[in-house]
Amino acid sequence: MSKIPANDVLKAELNAEAKEPLLPIEKKLIVGSLTLGIVLLVVLGLVNHFVPVS
Partner 1 sequence: MSEATLVAHGKSEPLTEDWLAVVIGGLIFIAALAGLWGNDLLGWVVTTSVWTDPTAALAPFAKTYAALGGWGALGATIVAFAVVLSLGAVTLGISIGRFLPAFLVTIIIAYAAWYLGSNAHLAAVTLAEQTKFGTDWSLKLTNEGGYIVALLAGLIIANFFPRFADWLSAAIRPELYVKIAIVLIGGFLAVTAAAKLGFASSLLLRGVAAIVEAYLIYWAVVYYVARQWFGFKREWAAPLASGISICGVAAAIATGGAIRARPQVAVLVSSLVVVFAVVEVLILPFLAQTYLWNEPLVAAAWVGLAVKTDGAAVAAGGITESLLLAKNAANGINYQPGWIVGTTATIKVFIDIFIGVWAFLLAWIWTNFINLAPGAERAKSSEIWQRFPKFILGFIATFVVGLILALTPATAAKLPSIIAEANTFRVLFFILTFFSIGVLSDFRRLWQDGFGKLVAVYAVSLFGFVIWVGLFISWLFFAGIKPPLVS
Report the chain's C-alpha Rg in angstroms.
21
Reduce the DSSP state of residue 34 to 3 states and report it. helix
Q: Tell me which residues in 25-54 interact with partner 1 (CB under 8 A).
A: 25-26, 29-31, 33-34, 36-38, 40-41, 44-45, 47-48, 51, 53-54
Q: Tell me which residues in 5-24 interact with partner 1 (CB under 8 A).
A: 5, 7-8, 10-15, 17, 19-20, 22-23
Closest by Cα among 43, 21, 40, 42 to 32: 40
Residue 26, Cβ neighbours under 10 Å: how many?
A: 11
Q: Which residues bind partner 1 (CB under 8 A)?
A: 1-5, 7-8, 10-15, 17, 19-20, 22-23, 25-26, 29-31, 33-34, 36-38, 40-41, 44-45, 47-48, 51, 53-54
